[in-house]
Chain A
Amino acid sequence: MAVAWIGNRETLVERAAAHAAALLWSSRCPVFSLDTDIHGTRAAIALAERVGAAYDHANGAAVSREVALFTDKGAMTVAPGETRRRADVVVIVGELLQIHHEFVGELAETVPDLSAKNQREIFLVGSNETSAPRLSNGRTATLLSCGEAGLGATLAALRAQWRGRQTSQPVSNFDDFAKALAAAHFPVFLFSGDATEGLALEMLQGLISDLNRKSRASGLHLPASENGWGSALASTWMTGFPLRTGFARGFPEFDPWRYDVARMIAAGEADLHLRISSSTVQPQKKRNRMALIALAKTQQPVAGAAVTIAIGDAGVDHQAVVYSSRTGSLRSVEARAASELPSAATVIRLVASHVSAEAALPC
């Protein structure tokens, strides 16, 4: 099975890696977009430092909104395990990604064993169009909505009403919500940056903060991308900064606008794009003659890529460490269907070994 290509021509992985390294070395403004496990991220950041690249997650906008909540505002959060065991009121804030629906279903099917209430009520903040996770036993989440108002405005109205203030439009089913909160011991709000704008995330934290004046409440972060959040954590310990960090000046600089890799590509700033994703991704529109190096789980060269190297899927083809939103921390996963395909980390280290450097690679 072919695993590496230069252009459309099949080649040895070693040669493809050497060619990728040469492209990275001669690039003026290389950018990396990541959708990979922890060790893939660690290797990519080490390579980025060596070649002066900027890096971001493949779905940088959503991850960046979640990062910004922490860098700009702070938050009150709770572990998923505690949510399952303690939350007597669960509030789904906006739309959650499909990957989180199973956990929401589990919350609907179970009762909190560490709560005196021994039952769980479920609410949904959104509009009539907000698609809610399917709940078992015919249960539906009680909708808290302000008609056409967006999520941020609905959360603002909810917060204002809870504090006894006037709102231009009342939140639907507010009385049920207020009654549930008054009886609750530990309400938990499920949130994600996927479809929720930054100000709405801040407003939610304001509401949680208000609730904590006299009783307890918290928020469960269900990330827009598990790989994205894992990469953000690894980047933070390695460089001190989350994603959207660049090494253009030889040391790490965090700038969520400047190092927004999608923006850098669209604006024609980047001249080389290293894309690391085990899933098959559609080619991105580009404005200049930017070269693409694609590390992907593929059996054929990625269209338009100067170099393609096949990699395995973390936790499928090889053992991996990934962020798990189910535990709220990093988790080791065995290969479900071990294959010969190398991990992203292995391939990136191979590329890095062809880039000249004085110091040994830290990963």
Chain B
Amino acid sequence: MLTKIAGGDIIDPVNGRLGKGDLWISDDKIVAAPAAGAADRTFDAAGCIVMAGAIDIHSHIGGGNVNTARLLLPEQHAAHQARPATTPLSNAGWSTFQTGCLYAKMGFTTVVEPAMSPGAALHTHLELADIPIIDKATLAILGNDDFLLSMIRDDASSQMIEDYVAWTVASTRALGVKVINAGAAAAFKENVRTFSLDDVVPSYGVSSRKIVKTLQAAVASLGVPHPLHVHCNNLGSPGSADTAAATIAAAEGLPLHLAHLQFYGYGTEGKRRFSSAAARLAELVNATPEVTIDIGQVMFGQTVTVSSDVMRQFSARGSAQPKKSVIHDGDGNGGGIVPYRYGKDFYGTMQWAIGLELFLLIDDPWRVFFTTDHPNGAPFTAYPALFELLMSREARTEMMAGLPKSAMALSTLAAVDREYTFEEIAVMTRAAPAKLLGLTDRGHLGAGAIADIAVYRREDNIAKMLGQAAYVFKDGDLVVQDGEITHYRWGKALRLNPSPDKAMLRRLVDYHQQRYGLSLDWFNFPDSAIAREQPFGEVACRT
């Protein structure tokens, strides 16, 4: 079927296409305008902007820890019941079904769950498979697991480490690798309570830095398109900017992605010894081209923090609101679930301002990614409001007027004039994520790309415009019209499929039998376990 999206303002930075024009779709692909022949259906996009479907590189949408958060907080899920829109929690998208629908309504068509515990890969993929409409992907967590730490301790060859990383990525159907507070979860099991980049995991004698560098090299050598995704040490601590700065310096020319940098943007100035170090970090990022970051923006209101940084979450238990939490020591990382409310107090305001400063002070939209670290900084349903803050200085000024002056005095936000353009938004939320993840078939509107398209009707209210797309197409199917879901479909989980090394497989079979008393079969699963047609889509490693 031939579809024409007619007369919209096309914003496609990858192909240099900016301005009024038509976009053509044949079945599930974008095609060049046909020389002859009429469209089977035409959508009038006059007065609209037309972009590729958006891609979220870091949003906790499924898996063991996310589900435990749902279990811990049935009251949060009251959001799904029919109730006035302004009541607390009314915007927290929470079930798998809601997650897909709410993302699609905003024009997002691919979302990455960035923290899949390898042992819970089947659980994670079953949840992702129940998220309708959008495509998904996962990053497998390594760096606190005994097998890897033992190999590093024993000076295993880089080839062996790569074989293990390749096996993990292939068997868990991941699109990349993440390391979360490298070594800290293992150290926490031995009662260590704080852990920095050069601290050493007691029983292994391996530093956090060594773990990060080892995985960074393995990921690069394997040709995994997405650089190692790093959740640094000391998340949320005053002075954590030093840790982030040290980690940025540790990139040393090889690609490295730092997750939710906002949570490390904290200095120690002022009488509360908590201040913005965003300008310093932004300068470092600007000067380090091999580093990419996402923000993890904080927005005010109730949320729940969900993290595999079990040490950090344990230390945050006291600030739980409501007062309950789950701390799980897993086979590698485990995780912690701590509900939290970001208030418009000094600390909440600092966090809010630091995130925006990072967005606005990092110059290159190809290296800064749009996230709230859902649900840690805010539910992803806060994205429309966040777009408005980035695109309108006036909206920021209005917001700042109601926030504590003591906090704003320690931030440079008020002095920043920059407003994101639609073209920059298209880079940050479409083109750059596709490039970062190695997804050549999306993030742009060139011929041959899959027809993931978001059409937004122009209006002054940016949050409304980007929160309720006029049309969204997924693989050429019209799924959203005028902000409402019109068609359910099932996306795929995008994965890499490197060939596992047979010798490594034998080692892992022995390891699981000896250490866990179980055959490796207990941890593997066939695609048919997902019980959907074509649950996975394969992405190629770089050669």
| Chain A positions near chain B (C-beta within 8 angstroms) | 38-39, 42, 67, 70-79, 81-82, 84-86, 106, 110, 113-114, 116, 185-186, 212, 215-216, 218, 232-234, 236-242, 251-254, 319, 321, 324, 326-332, 345, 359-360, 362-363
Distance in angstroms from A206 CB to nearest chain B CB is 13
Residues of A within 8 Å of B320, CB to CB, are 74
Tell me whether B94 and A324 are in contact (CB under 8 A): no
Tell me whether B327 and A76 are in contact (CB under 8 A): yes
- Flag whether B399 is at the interface (Cβ < 8 A): no
Residues of A within 8 Å of B314, CB to CB, are 212
Residues of B within 8 Å of A110, CB to CB, are 517
| Chain B positions near chain A (C-beta within 8 angstroms) | 62, 64, 66-68, 70-74, 77, 80-82, 94-98, 119-120, 122-123, 126-127, 130, 132, 146, 188-191, 203, 314, 320, 324-331, 334, 337, 488, 515-518, 522-526, 528-529, 531
A239 and chain B: residue at smallest CB distance: B95
Known: A85-B515, A216-B191, A242-B74. A327 touches B130 (CB 8 A): no
Known: A85-B516, A233-B123, A331-B522. A242 touches B71 (CB 8 A): yes
Tell me whether B518 and A326 are in contact (CB under 8 A): yes
Tell me whether B71 and A79 are in contact (CB under 8 A): no
Residues of A within 8 Å of B95, CB to CB, are 237-240, 252
**Would you mind naming 18 contact pairs between A and B with Cβ atoms under 8 Å apart?**
A42-B130, A71-B74, A73-B324, A78-B328, A81-B119, A84-B517, A110-B517, A113-B515, A232-B71, A236-B70, A237-B66, A239-B95, A319-B528, A326-B518, A331-B522, A332-B525, A362-B97, A363-B130
How many angstroms from the CA of A362 to the CA of B98 in the assembled complex?
12
Distance in angstroms from A170 CB to nearest chain B CB is 28
Tell me whether B190 and A82 are in contact (CB under 8 A): no
Distance in angstroms from A326 CB to nearest chain B CB is 7
How many angstroms from the CA of A270 to the CA of B516 in the assembled complex?
45
How many angstroms from the CA of A345 to the CA of B531 in the assembled complex?
10
Tell me whether B329 and A78 are in contact (CB under 8 A): yes
Most buried by B among A110, A242, A329: A329
With beta carbons under 8 angstroms apart, the residue of B146, B328, B528 that contacts A79 is B328
Known: A233-B123, A251-B80, A330-B126. A77 touches B516 (CB 8 A): no
How many angstroms from the CA of A39 to the CA of B530 in the assembled complex?
9
Residues of B within 8 Å of A236, CB to CB, are 67, 70-71
Tell me whether B191 and A319 are in contact (CB under 8 A): no
Distance in angstroms from A178 CB to nearest chain B CB is 18
Residues of A within 8 Å of B146, CB to CB, are 85, 114
How many angstroms from the CA of A113 to the CA of B325 in the assembled complex?
29
Tell me whether A331 and B122 are in contact (CB under 8 A): yes
How many angstroms from the CA of A342 to the CA of B203 in the assembled complex?
50
Residues of B within 8 Å of A240, CB to CB, are 70, 74, 77, 80, 94-95, 98
The 9 closest A-B pairs by CB, nearest first: A240-B77, A74-B324, A332-B525, A332-B529, A240-B95, A78-B329, A330-B123, A240-B94, A74-B325
How many angstroms from the CA of A237 to the CA of B67 in the assembled complex?
6
A321 and chain B: residue at smallest CB distance: B529
Tell me whether A185 and B130 are in contact (CB under 8 A): no
With beta carbons under 8 angstroms apart, the residue of A72, A252, A362 that contacts B130 is A362
How many angstroms from the CA of A75 to the CA of B126 in the assembled complex?
24
Residues of B within 8 Å of A77, CB to CB, are 326-329
Tell me whether A233 and B67 are in contact (CB under 8 A): yes
With beta carbons under 8 angstroms apart, the residue of A71, A185, A362 that contacts B488 is A362
With beta carbons under 8 angstroms apart, the residue of A82, A113, A237, A360 that contacts B331 is A82
How many angstroms from the CA of A85 to the CA of B529 in the assembled complex?
28
How many angstroms from the CA of A339 to the CA of B68 in the assembled complex?
35
Residues of B within 8 Å of A71, CB to CB, are 71-74
Tell me whether A79 and B119 are in contact (CB under 8 A): yes
How many angstroms from the CA of A185 to the CA of B190 in the assembled complex?
7
Distance in angstroms from B529 CB to nearest chain A CB is 4
Tell me whether A86 and B96 are in contact (CB under 8 A): no
Known: A237-B67, A329-B120. A251 touches B324 (CB 8 A): no
How many angstroms from the CA of A188 to the CA of B73 in the assembled complex?
25
With beta carbons under 8 angstroms apart, the residue of B82, B132, B525 that contacts A251 is B82
Tell me whether B189 and A216 are in contact (CB under 8 A): yes
Other than the known A70-B68, A79-B334, what 15 A-B pairs have Cβ atoms closer than 8 Å?
Answer: A79-B119, A81-B119, A82-B189, A86-B189, A113-B515, A114-B146, A218-B327, A232-B71, A233-B71, A237-B95, A238-B95, A240-B80, A319-B526, A321-B126, A362-B97
With beta carbons under 8 angstroms apart, the residue of B64, B130, B518 that contacts A238 is B130
Distance in angstroms from A100 CB to nearest chain B CB is 14
Tell me whether B191 and A185 are in contact (CB under 8 A): yes
Known: A110-B517, A238-B95, A239-B95. A327 touches B70 (CB 8 A): no
Distance in angstroms from A87 CB to nearest chain B CB is 10
How many angstroms from the CA of A360 to the CA of B526 in the assembled complex?
26
With beta carbons under 8 angstroms apart, the residue of A42, A70, A82, A86 that contacts B71 is A70
How many angstroms from the CA of A184 to the CA of B186 in the assembled complex?
17
Distance in angstroms from B138 CB to nearest chain A CB is 15
Residues of B within 8 Å of A359, CB to CB, are 488
Distance in angstroms from B101 CB to nearest chain A CB is 11
Residues of B within 8 Å of A76, CB to CB, are 326-329
Residues of A within 8 Å of B516, CB to CB, are 81, 84-85
How many angstroms from the CA of A31 to the CA of B66 in the assembled complex?
28
Residues of B within 8 Å of A328, CB to CB, are 119
Residues of A within 8 Å of B70, CB to CB, are 236-237, 240-241
Tell me whether B325 and A238 are in contact (CB under 8 A): no
How many angstroms from the CA of A212 to the CA of B518 in the assembled complex?
30
A241 and chain B: residue at smallest CB distance: B74
Tell me whether A106 and B517 are in contact (CB under 8 A): yes
A103 and chain B: residue at smallest CB distance: B517
Residues of B within 8 Å of A186, CB to CB, are 189
